[in-house]
Amino acid sequence: MHLPPTHPGSMLLEEFLKPLEMTQVELAEAIGVPLQRVNEIVNQKRGVSPETALRLGKYFGVSADFWLGLQKDRDLWNAYQKEKVKLNEIVPVSTAKSGVI
């Protein structure tokens, strides 16, 4: 895991808002969420919640799973970066039980 997965906000900006020439204000109004939420997602200061994923999916004609998948991948990558040293200390059960290290 070298490069971080695409943040949902980057995808939202580059693949949806820019091509549609849509502002964050227009999107926030269209999906019924505060502008601050859209802005924080686009600026990668906030993740996409299940509720927001449902709204984005409905509006753009993609599944909520699309947005949640991007978020899950990003969250898992961030967790791995934080935990990788500790993870390297864990001996898998099959190795530990066989006595092989």
Domain residue ranges of the chain, discontinuous segments joined by +: 8-98
pLDDT in tens, 43-92: 999 999 999 999 999 999 999 999 999 999 999 999 999 999 999 999 99
- Whole-prediction pTM: 0.85
pLDDT > 70: percent of the chain: 95
CATH 1.20.1440.230 fits 8-98, yes or no: no
The one-character DSSP state at 62 is S
**Local structure of residue 33 (DSSP, 8 states):** -
Q: Is the dihedral of CA 24, 25, 31, 32 positive or negative?
A: positive
